Structures are given as C-alpha cells and as structure tokens.
Chain A
Amino acid sequence: MAIIKVDNLHKIYNETVIPVHAIRGIDLEFNTGEFTAIVGPSGCGKTTFLNLIGGLDKPSEGKVIIDGNDIAHLSSRQLIDYRLRNIGFVFQSYNLIPVLTAGENIAFIMELQGKSKKERLERAKDLLEQVGIAEKFNVRPGQLSGGQQQRVAVARALASKPKFILADEPTANLDSKATEDLLDMMAEMNRKHNITFIFSSHDQRVINRARRLITLTDGQVTEDIRVNKN
C-alpha cells in the first residue's frame, strides 16, 4: 500500500525574478517498508524532492499525499505538527542538540509529542540499544564519533514512530567503516520496524544497499528501478 503518493509535483524557485524549475512533474509512490535511494547529479533536485515530501517546503504545483492526506495544503502550523508525528529526519551533519546527551536528544522529540517522562526514558534507552550504542546514553554529541552521532540521529528519527524516515546524504561526513556500520544498522531498522527509508545520496555504498533506485535528472525521474535483495 502506498504510504507516499506524489502527483505531478512541480517546484519553481524565484518565480518572479529568474525562475528555477527544480522539480518538473514527478509522479511517484512509496510503499511501507521500502529502502529507497534517490540519486542523480548535483542540482538535479534530490534535496528539493526530499524537502517537498518531508513537508519542509511547499510545491508550486501538484500533490504530496501521505497516508491519504495532501500535505501541500496544510498550514505552516499543521505541517510542523505533521512532521513531528509522521516523519523522521536524518541529516548530513547529524544536527543533534549539543547541550543534550544522546539519550536526551532522543527523548526530546518524544517530549515534543507529549509523551510521559517514563516512556521517553525507556524508549530512548531501548532505541540506543537497538542502534548499538546503549552505553552512550549520558554522553554529549561532542564526545561521540561521527558514526555514533549519526546512530543517535537515526534513533531520534525512530523515536517519534514515524511513517517514514528521510535521510539527506546521511553518510557524507562519515568514513568507510562508519558508513558501512550505519547502513547495516539502518537496514536492520528497516527490516525490524518495517519503516520506509528514503535516502538522497551520491554514495555508492548507499546505492548498493537500496532496494529501489530512483534517478533524478533536471528535476525529473529518469529511472526507477526496484532491486531484489534478500
């Protein structure tokens, strides 16, 4: 069943000055449990596409339907709440809150959702264990390696029990070993929780792990391949 449906999606920047047509009529569907990589040369619209389906930006034309809701017509306030409860984000630069510990970073998103302190604490511990760094609960991001910080970011993204997770170049700042470990972990989370992962990446290792590859060129889908992986 399609969890995300993108219908004739367009995004034009600077419409009144020099228009830049970043997304030119994309039609796509994403199902639950997919592990999808969006690839393409720089400037092809990968990040823009992720921002549109993540509700961080509004399309100039078209629809983004998530679980039956067209998020393109939600107000700014509604979008914020929608992202909080339905979408997880993993960023290239980890973007953890530096003054909070790893555990607190994960608990924070649950606090925004209004979860009780007990539930936040228990789930944060559980998620850190799942991503393989349970012992780092009380450690601040500044004292973690890049790979460990990204694991915390994945755990935070999972904490809100999202419908899908968007990861924009999640391995760009990691070394080879950290990249492999992170991808193994994310693949494991994908299998375990059946959560849709959608990456944008140049990284071949990410591409190799994906079960679906969508290639964008000049804002359009030029290739959409599903790869059988056991």
Chain B
Amino acid sequence: MTILISWKNVWRNKARSFIILISTAIGLFGGIFSYALMMGSTIQRIDSAIKNETSSFQLHNPAYLQEEDIKNNIRQPEKYIKEIEKLSEVKAVSSRLKSTAMISTAYSSTGTIINGINPDSEIQVTRLYESIFAGEYFDNDDQIPIIIGRKLAKKLNAGVGDKLILSVPAIDGEVVYGAFFLKGIFNTQNDLFDGIQAYIKKEDLAELIGIDKETSSELAVSLYNTDLSEKIAKQVESLFTSEIEQEEIIIRNWKQIDITLSLLIDSMSYFSWFFIGIILIALAFGIVNTMLMVVLERVREIGMLMAIGMNKIRIFSMIMWETLFLSLSGGIIGMIFSMLFIAYFKHFGMDLSVVGEGMNAYGFSTIIYPAAPFTFYIEVLMMIILTAILASIFPAIKALKLNPAEAVRE
C-alpha cells in the first residue's frame, strides 16, 4: 500500500507533476536523440572507413610504414593471401600496389596516392564502385583508366574522359610519366580521402614503374562481419608468428590503421554519456526541489503517519517511490518519443547538409541515420532510477526529521 500511496501522490498536484514530467521527457529526449545521432554518425563513419579506406585489416611490410617506397613491398604476398582466404570469416583479399605521385591536368597539379588494384578483387573488398557518381568503374576493356575522388577532381578541374598525367618514382629511382583517362569520379563523403586517393589497374602501375605485376605493397582484407575485425586480425597474426617476429609482415586492424578515427569514436561515446549525465543531474535538481515542496506541504500528513506507527523505513521508501514514479513517468515518455523519432530518421535519414562541408572534412556523412541499441535504453533507465533514488534522499531525510507531535498540529 505504501507503493500505491506513492503512485497516487504523484497525481495529487497534476499541474506540478505534469511540468516535471514534461521537462524530464524533453530533457531525456534531447539527450537520447543526440546520443543516437552521434552513435549513428559514428557507426556510419566506421562503416565508411572500413569499406572505403582501411578494410577490416591490412598487411604490410613493416618497412613500408616507415617509408612508403615501392621497394618496401610484401615478400611472397600469395602465401599470405592463400592462408587468409581459407578463413571462413574472410570475404576477400585485395592485393594493391601503392605509390605516391604527382597528378596533373592542363589546369592544375597536386600530390596523390596511387592505388594499383585488381578491379575484380577490389570490388569485393571496398565499395568504391558504389561511390562513383560520375563515369563508371573499371572495365576489362579499358585502356589505362583512372578513378579519382570528388575533391581531387575538383582540385584538378577534371571531368570524366579527361587525360590525367601521373609522374611517379620508378623502381630505379627515376621519375616516369604516364597518361591515364579519367574513367570515373567517386564521393565517399570523406574530403580527406576523396582529395588524395586515385585508383588505376595494378598491371598499369606495375608496367609504369618497372616492377613485377604480382608485387604487393598492401593486402587489404574484408570480412563478412566487420565487428570481428580485431578478432580475426589477431587470428591471422597467430598464423604468421615467425614472419611477424622476423619483421617480414605487420598486420593492423582498422583501429590501428586509423588511430585518429579510433580516438575520435571513443571520445564521442564518452561525450554522449557525459551529455546525458549532465541532463540527468539538471533534472535531479528539479526533482529534489519538487519533492522538498511535497514534503513541506504534507508535514501534517507525514506527522500523522509517524504517529499511527509508520516506521522511518516505510516513510523513506514512500518518498523514494514517489520520486521514482515521478522520474520514471517523464523518463519513459521521453524514451518513447526518442524511439519514435529515432525509428523515423533511421529509415529516412537526417539531412545535415547545411553543415555538410565541415562534416565531410572529418569524413562524416551529411545524411545521418541515428542508432541506439536496445541496451542503451536499459542503461538510460538504470540511470533514471539511480538519479531518482539519489534525488529522493534529501527530501526523505527532511521528512524523517519531523517531530510527529509538532507535525500533526501544522
């Protein structure tokens, strides 16, 4: 009955309770929806990074990480490809030849990273081909094609069909030149990536720089489930322990490749929870204030309850339950509204193109699909309950300090 009294007491002053309820609901909605936007943005960024840039993990010659020279290639890449492809979690392995280069048109020139790829295996490792918005992906019949990013194309003032000149260092150290036709332009919504990366056929790059076409600077591995990136990378490490010890190969998962992104994502997660925590603390003060008013209004009633034999634990729990019901009512409404909004924008996406340039500069998409796992709502619920319990302490102590003999005569 104590719990029943507490629940009914919430609705004694409907106006006041509704104000608290609505303010709690709005506050939590703001916090939850912001979290979902950040989480969705983060998930999209990770997905984009893995599928366009880093893959789940990569293999390199350790020397290549110190100096990105064509000489620092992977010895016997086919050995690694064969073993890795045996793993059931692995979708595909792409062998790439990479080189830095200058790329120029009649209008402009700039530095670039040339990726010599096998178009058929690359299509299984990245979704570069999906990002092409002008022109097309590589065809088997193409003659010296090149695909570049949107930002790079803009820098060069280049359009599909234009001739681009690459100047690259050859294996003998001389600078060699090659002409390529712009086959397609991609947009991954990551300005950093789109402004520097260019793709040609591996055999074309190998021929240009005078190296065997089976040479590999980098092996990029894609998995069916990107969540397993760290685990499978570790598993692959265990397959090549002696090669790693002899510094013939190094294996890095996407977090190790893009440390900045990894740190950014971790900090976003902490920031989101911090934000929600701030909101709950602010709400807690409002609830404490309301419950203090409640206690002061009911001094006589509380005195009577003490007089007739309601012990301190019950009085404390009565106030605590009332605080809990008040907080949970607003919290649950806020959560329901959040769920509805998140479900809607998860389907249609939230267009933030007004701040698009800034977001693309950091590799974030302007269309965000908010996401919040079910466990998040449980965690928020726990936080609401904890906040309510803590907020009830001070008003409950105030109530317990009442002298029943004086209180009943208020």
Interface set of A (CB-CB < 8 Å, partner B): 47, 51, 54, 56-57, 76-77, 80-81, 83-85, 89, 91-93, 95, 97-100, 104, 107-109, 111-113, 156, 160
Contacts and interface: CB of A to CB of B under 8 A. Distances in A.
A28 B154 CA distance: 104
B173 interface: no
B307 A97 contact: no
A156 B409 CA distance: 19
Given A80-B312, A89-B307, A111-B1, A57 B9 contact: no
Given A76-B312, A83-B308, 18 more contacts: A56-B405, A80-B306, A80-B311, A80-B312, A81-B309, A81-B311, A84-B311, A89-B304, A89-B308, A92-B409, A93-B300, A95-B408, A98-B12, A99-B9, A99-B12, A104-B1, A108-B1, A160-B308
A121 to B, nearest CB: 12
A118 to B, nearest CB: 15
A156 B307 CA distance: 13
5 tightest A-B CB contacts, nearest first: A84-B309, A99-B8, A95-B304, A56-B405, A51-B405
Interface residues of B toward A: which range?
A: 20 to 34
Chain B interface main SS type: helix
B404 interface: yes
Nearest to A96: B304
A84 B308 contact: yes
Given A93-B300, A95-B301, A95-B408, A100 B310 contact: no
A156 to B, nearest CB: 7
Contact of A109 (B9, B308, B405): B308
Contacts of A93: 300
Contacts of A104: 1
A107 B4 CA distance: 13
Contact of B409 (A47, A99, A108, A113): A47
A156 B308 contact: yes
Nearest to A107: B1
A100 B8 contact: yes
Contacts of B301: 95, 97-98
7 contacts: A51-B405, A91-B408, A93-B300, A98-B301, A100-B1, A100-B5, A100-B8
A145 B372 CA distance: 54
Interface in B355-408: 403-405, 408
Nearest to B409: A47
A83 B304 CA distance: 12
B405 A77 contact: no
B314 interface: yes
B46 to A, nearest CB: 52
A107 B2 CA distance: 12
Interface in B304-339: 304-312, 314
A106 B333 CA distance: 35
A93 to B, nearest CB: 7
Nearest to A113: B309
Interface string B170-203: 0000000000000000000000000000000000
Contacts of B8: 99-100
A111 B4 CA distance: 12
B12 A85 contact: no
A81 B313 CA distance: 12
Contacts of B5: 97, 99-100, 108
A221 B344 CA distance: 78
Nearest to A56: B405
A160 B309 CA distance: 10
A80 B309 contact: yes
Given A93-B300, A98-B12, A83 B309 contact: yes
B9 A54 contact: no
A112 B405 contact: no
Contacts of A76: 312
Contacts of A83: 307-309
Contacts of A56: 307, 404-405, 408
Given A77-B311, A108-B1, A91 B304 contact: yes
Given A91-B408, A107-B1, A54 B307 contact: yes
A98 B301 CA distance: 9
Nearest to B306: A80
A110 to B, nearest CB: 10
B11 to A, nearest CB: 8
Contact of B309 (A47, A57, A92, A109): A109
B256 to A, nearest CB: 61
Contacts of B408: 56, 91, 95
